[in-house]
Amino acid sequence: MPLTPDEVRRVAMLARIELSEPEIATAQAQLNSIFSLIETLQATDTKGVTPMSHAGDLVARLREDRVTEIDQRDRFQSVAPQVERGLYLVPRVIE
Amino acid sequence: MHNANISELRAALASRKISSVELTRMFLDRIGAANGSLNAFITVDAGKSLSQAKAADARIARGEAGRLTGIPIAHKDIFCARDWLTTCGSRMLANFVSPYDAHVIGRFNDAGCVILGKTNMDEFAMGSSNETSYFGSVRNPWDLECVPGGSSGGSAAAVAARLAPAATGTDTGGSIRQPAALTGITGIKPTYGRVSRYGMIAFASSLDQGGIMTRSAEDAALLLAEMVGHDARDSTCVDMPAEDYTLRLREPWTKGGSGARPLEGLRIGLPREHFGEGLSGDVHAAVRAALVEMEKLGATLVDIDLKNSALSVPAYYVIAPAEASSNLSRFDGVRYGYRAPEYTDLSDMYCKTRAQGFGAEVKRRILIGAYVLSHGYYDAYYLQAQRIRRLVARDFETAFESCDLIAGPTSPTVAFKLGAKAADPVQMYLNDIYTIPANLAGLPGMSIPCGFGQGGLPVGLHLVGNYYKEGDMLSAAHHFQTATDWHLKAPVQ
């Protein structure tokens, strides 16, 4: 089922990726060609098959609840696009 | 010296024939001379490398050297290395200097290895030709008009051209094995969870696995032994002690095996599905010849079925993008990496940052992922793909009842020309048809050179082992490489 330009716009919004009109057209064509490959999955009967989300059946490990990290704020913020007084700066969201 | 294997380099360092500084300088000079045409490295920092080499020399002088102390190796730019630019091949991280070391980097640093530089790669490891890198395509040292494969294309080209004795790589759908095949080197992806993913920039977390690219199985055994083992910082890292793969490398497969027939007792399964339509004749011929050699060494060949193999590619292109769309949501222009210079509000900043920071292939996969996970499509695509994944894993389970290792071609063709498949994502995705099944199942796989095809380009033999049987694969590969010299062939410089 081919994607419409509106569906491409919606997905791009969900993914927070700005697309220009020509990019939407290109994405639509490429996604549809990829989805025609993906559609081949539908022909297989998988009734009763448990989905496999991970290789090996992992058991979540627990650890002791104690502080393991040291404060490295300055170090980590040195690679941030914009910081001020130890805070990450973003455009104003609340007027 | 640049053709020496790692054991020979170790011996030279131990006997003071050469110092780590001299060795490092030699490889840095080779990189300096060749990188203009190959573009295998994104970052080289002679000062940092030489200071590590100096420390290694001091450690050797103190008599405290481990078996890798002083050996220079290159790292795929997906591994965070403290104070090194770590770009993941993306504009998004073009200015990211890592504040910490990945587990793998830490292990090699502790062992006394020297970081030779950070190698080029497909952006966020998404690609099979190394053409999606923000830092430009890598070229294949066997033919500069051809791709080296991907996504670990820079590591592959560097090892093939003898710019580094070895390089780390990562493999989500074939990203170690396919470039290893296309550049005539040895590459191994261990069992999922065997090597910690801590500090390895995430693409698809249930599939990503770090490994090593070398010129021989012997070198791979030595280096992989340093990488495996438990690390609590990766919750999916298996709690199993490290294994020294060098110990039984030379042992015959069974006690009854002799010097001439060391693989006596080894049953090699040949998946019918991997020798059919889509496999080019030259690759087929080289792989068949390698299998004949394996028989001469004592192995028995048995036909097996991996009947859901063809569905691996579409299942992968649902699962990997779904996980990627989630993993890459962290790149929002706030905490690190690129931020668009102009925007109107927070949402616009996210959208423009990601539009400008990511390249076309990464955006494509994020869009696929967001779509298959979105309301109304989750069951039809994502859950269905995960059910297919189970079927693929079961095929292997059944196959391993009648064989010990699985062998076939790593890639359907030899290296293709730059640009040949760049415009058609689906054609590009089909490159990984033989490698993806092992990732879905979480099994270890490797590629070893086994001959040459069209244009004198290398062909890789693909081996898949059962869970945690890296030692078996490495041993079989080593016996093959003891009897053949494909792995010793180097491109003309």
User: Residue B381 domain-assigned?
Assistant: no
Candidates A41, A70, A74: best to mutate against B (most CBs of B within 10 A) is A41
- B37 counts as catalytic: no
Model ipTM value: 0.95
What mean pLDDT, rounded, does chain B reach? 96
Tokens encoding B238: 């298996």
Q: How far apart are CA B246 and CA B225, in angstroms?
A: 8
Which of B40-54, B229-243, B346-360 shows the lowest per-residue confidence on average (mean pLDDT)?
B229-243
Residues on chain A touching B333 (C-beta within 8 angstroms): 81
Best interface-test mutation with A: which of B313, B367, B379, B392 has the largest number of A CBs within 10 A?
B367
In a domain? residue B93: yes
From the candidates B76, B189, B421, B469, give the one annotated as an active-site residue.
Answer: B76
Q: What pLDDT digit, counting tens, does each position of B425-479 carry?
A: 888 899 899 999 999 999 999 999 999 999 999 999 999 999 999 999 999 999 9
pLDDT value of position B423:
86
Whether residue B352 lies inside any domain: the answer is no
Q: What pTM was estimated for this model as a whole?
A: 0.97
Q: From CA B100, how far away is CA B80, in angstroms rounded?
A: 7
Average pLDDT, chain A: 92
Q: How confident is residue B352, by pLDDT bands cut at 50, 70 and 90?
A: very high
Q: What is the pLDDT of residue A69?
A: 87
Q: Is the pLDDT of residue B368 over 90?
A: yes
Let me know if residue B52 belongs to a domain. yes
* Confidence bin at B1 (pLDDT 50/70/90): confident
A66–chain B nearest CA distance, Å = 14
CA distance B320 to B440: 10
Which carries the bigger pLDDT value, residue A58 or residue B309? B309
Q: What percent of chain B has pLDDT over 90?
A: 94
The secondary structure of B177-209 as a DSSP string is HHHHHHHT-EEEE--TTSB--TTBPPS-TTT-E
pLDDT for A1 beyond 70: no
In a domain, B325, yes or no: no
* B254 in contact with chain A, both atoms CB, cutoff 8 A: no
**Does the CB of B318 have a partner CB in chain A at under 8 Å?**
yes
Find residue B210's DSSP bridge partners: B170
- Which 3 state secondary structure label does DSSP give B110? helix
pLDDT at A62: 83
Which residue of the set B90, B98, B137, B151 is catalytic? Answer: B151
* Contact yes or no for B311/B391 (Cβ under 8 A): yes
Q: Which residue of B has its CA nearest to A33?
A: B426
Q: Determine the distance in angstroms separating the CA of A61 from the nearest CA of chain B, rounded to an integer.
A: 7
Residue B296 bears catalytic tag: no
Active site residue B235: no
Chain A residue numbers with beta carbons less than 8 Å from the beta carbon of B347 are 16
The total number of structural domains that make up chain B: 1
Residue A38 is nearest to which of B317, B333, B386, comparing CB atoms?
B317
DSSP secondary structure letter of residue B68:
T
Answer whether residue B157 is part of any domain: yes
Is the separation of the CB atoms in B152 and B76 below 8 Å?
yes
B210 is a domain residue: yes
- Give the domains, in start order, of chain A with CATH numbers: 5-43 (1.10.20)
- With CB atoms and an 8 Å threshold, state whether B367 touches A58: no
Give the model confidence (pLDDT) of B79-118 as tens digits: 999 999 999 999 999 999 999 999 999 999 999 999 999 9
B355–A18 CB contact, under 8 Å: yes
Q: Taking 70 as the threshold, does the pLDDT of residue A57 lie above it? A: no
Identified catalytic residue from B98, B128, B133, B175 = B175
Chains A–B, number of C-beta pairs less than 8 Å apart: 171
- Report the gap between the CA of B365 and the closest CA in chain A (Å): 9
pLDDT-based confidence at residue A54 (cuts at 50, 70, 90): confident
| Tokens encoding B2 | 């640049």
Residue A58 has pLDDT above 80, yes or no: no
Domain of residue B116: give its range. Answer: 6-256+445-488
- The β-bridge partners of B300 are B267
Q: How far apart are CA B101 and CA B88, in angstroms?
A: 14
Distance CA B90, CA B85 (A): 12
User: Tell me, what amino acid is at B378?
Assistant: Y
CB contact B349 to A (< 8 Å): yes
B18 in any annotated domain: yes
For B175-232, the pLDDT digits (tens) are 999 999 999 999 999 999 999 999 999 999 999 999 999 999 999 999 999 999 999 9
Interface-testing mutation among A6, A11, A74, A95, with chain B (most B C-beta atoms within 10 A): A11
CA of B66: how far to CAs of B14, B26, B166, B209, B352, in Å? 10, 22, 17, 25, 49
Q: pLDDT tens digit string along B219-260?
A: 999 999 999 999 999 999 999 999 999 999 999 998 877 788
Chain B: closest CA distance from residue A75 (Å): 7
Please tell me if residue B371 touches chain A, with a CB cutoff of 8 Å.
yes
Contacts of A27 in chain B (CB under 8 A): 363-364, 367
> B232: which chain A residues are within 8 Å (Cβ-Cβ)?
61, 63
User: Smallest Cβ distance to A56: which of B192, B352, B381?
Assistant: B192
CATH of the domain at B50: 3.90.1300.10
Instruction: With a cut of 90, say whether residue A63 has pLDDT above it.
Output: no
Alpha carbon distance B107, A69 (integer Å): 20
- By Cβ distance, the residue of A8, A37, A52 closest to B390 is A52
Mean pLDDT of B154-176: 98
Residues in Cβ contact with B491 at an 8 Å cutoff, skipping those fewer than 6 apart: B141, B142, B160, B161, B184
- Give the percent of chain B with pLDDT over 70: 100
- The span from the CA of A22 to the CA of B326, in Å, is 26
B82 touches chain A (CB under 8 A): no
Summarize pLDDT for A10-51 with one digit per residue, the tens.
999 999 999 999 999 999 999 999 999 999 999 999 999 999
Contact B334 A81 (CB under 8 A): yes
Please report the pLDDT score of residue A55 as a whole number: 82
